Structure 1
């Protein structure tokens, strides 16, 4: 939803803190995933990812953990990991039984589809023909491009998906100017979906560098290197602070429709919560 932009430093701080408090916490369904889910605050929004290694079943199992613990659950469904319409119906039924009303649909990282769906748009088309409880449907967007998909195809896919979606989530970003420039371009092209900004949690920079290069946001990482002396900070074992990025986005031009934050915790939920709590005490 559109939000009036803050006009003073205190208003920026207030909105920044609220966005951190309300951020969606992304958890990877590893072996220790349930412990990470339970480390979120009661009533928190938890997104459970879907990876080729563990399959959709593991995602749905850990969504059950989150729902049973009273968390607001956002399952990730990767199109390339859903075999057919029957499997899609089964997944929808399982999450509907948990009271889920928010779903995030991605193409997925699998090298090849296991069945009918090769991209998110195809799955969304079939989802529209199935009775479901979802009042919110999120899709991915790529302000810094995708390592395997050209920009023209990305724009075409996003415009197609927005007919089924209600919001979009950006890839993990470090460069506020690149993000806001892309968002202005998106609006000019007819993309109207509100944006949840993907942010990295406060990880040690060496680990964050490794993960960023792996998922294809090297351009943003180079920006971070120039602005914040990344190489030296990595050698010193320092930790990334996402606040400058968030502050810049929050205080940017009006009318950009920044709905909130999506925190890539990399299963370091207690670290993220402790950091956010410390920031709140300091702001």
Structure 2
């Protein structure tokens, strides 16, 4: 991978966090304003936690990206309220996953349903991300996720991929996405500088039922990190370098799953950039 590609991706990398108590203060302490911070939505932490965390981050000068999990929203009236609230907070970017709420809170069974309603509103969002799955979803069949990505392409500005620790699989998957005619920029999901013990502690903060789902969905993370040598994000990026360098693959940026280990991830990112030299970029490609 070229140094210019790595510098660009590390400079513009955005972080994903869970809206647990104290996370805003930790972000403010360790991360400079202007970075894009996405805030997850989960039934254990409530949609209110997601929205209020996003509002606080936006007010502090970060570019907040709340997750609007379709299955957590009761219907168009609540969606309208959420849109108005985010507009008031000057939030202009969102991520729309289906979410895990079972049964759904209302009429939105998946992300596409919410996106259709959203498209008919005077919503302020310039950036709308949707999910992409290099590996099989733990609940949804592969053919359904592939079709969903195709259906959502006209309502979104970019794709955000779920975690995957297999460089060869990522390479083949991105190629297949492009061969299907899906041209949306891809923000590639990678794990940050995460320690196993801290990851387990994060899981305990989001409720017993939610923790079970968290651990099941992130089994690959635990397995990978438990191996000798653990997980090294820089080595992982080097292994997928050809994909990152290839403009036809359309990798516009990095979506770093921090699991709330903000300090460790930000220190790692800055160290990598310092070794590369040059100034950070501040624009967002997607």
Range class of TM-score, shorter chain: 0.7 to 0.9
**Alpha-carbon shift at residue 207 of structure 1 (Å):** 5.8
Are residue 146 (structure 1) and residue 142 (structure 2) matched? no
Q: Distance in 2 between matches of 1:213 and 1:51?
A: 13
Aligned partner (choices 142, 151, 160) of residue 169 of structure 1: 160
Q: 8 Å contact 1:27–1:37 — kept in the other structure?
A: no
Q: Distance in 1 between matches of 2:198 and 2:263?
A: 17
Are residue 241 (structure 1) and residue 212 (structure 2) matched? no
Point out 4+ residue stretches in structure 1 off by more than 4 angstroms: 205-213
Gaps of 5+ in 2: 204-213, 277-286
**Alpha-carbon shift at residue 22 of structure 1 (Å):** 1.1
Q: Distance in 2 between matches of 1:146 and 1:209?
A: 21
Q: Which residue of 2 aligns with 1:74?
A: 65
Aligned positions, number: 262
Are residue 214 (structure 1) and residue 204 (structure 2) matched? no
**Alpha-carbon shift at residue 151 of structure 1 (Å):** 0.8
Q: Distance in 2 between matches of 1:116 and 1:19?
A: 38
**Alpha-carbon shift at residue 247 of structure 1 (Å):** 2.6
Partner SS for 2:42? coil
RMSD over aligned CA atoms reads: 2.2
Segment of structure 1 superposing worse, 51-60 or 246-255? 246-255
Q: 8 Å contact 2:69–2:96 — kept in the other structure?
A: yes
**Alpha-carbon shift at residue 248 of structure 1 (Å):** 3.3
Q: Deviations over 1:159-197 (max 9, x none)?
A: 001110110000012222111201111112221111001
Are residue 36 (structure 1) and residue 26 (structure 2) matched? yes
Aligned partner (choices 258, 261, 266) of residue 268 of structure 1: 261
Q: Which residue of 2 aligns with 1:103?
A: 94
Partner SS for 1:77? coil
- 1:162-201 mapped onto 2 (5 Å cutoff): 162-201=153-192
Q: Distance in 1 between matches of 2:260 and 2:169?
A: 27
Q: Which residue of 2 aligns with 1:231?
A: 227
Q: Distance in 1 between matches of 2:140 and 2:18?
A: 24
Aligned partner (choices 24, 35, 49) of residue 58 of structure 1: 49
Q: Distance in 2 between matches of 1:58 and 1:180?
A: 35
After TM superposition, the score normalised by the length of structure 2 is 0.85
Q: Which residue of 2 aligns with 1:16?
A: 6
Q: Distance in 2 between matches of 1:175 and 1:208?
A: 20
Partner SS for 1:137? strand
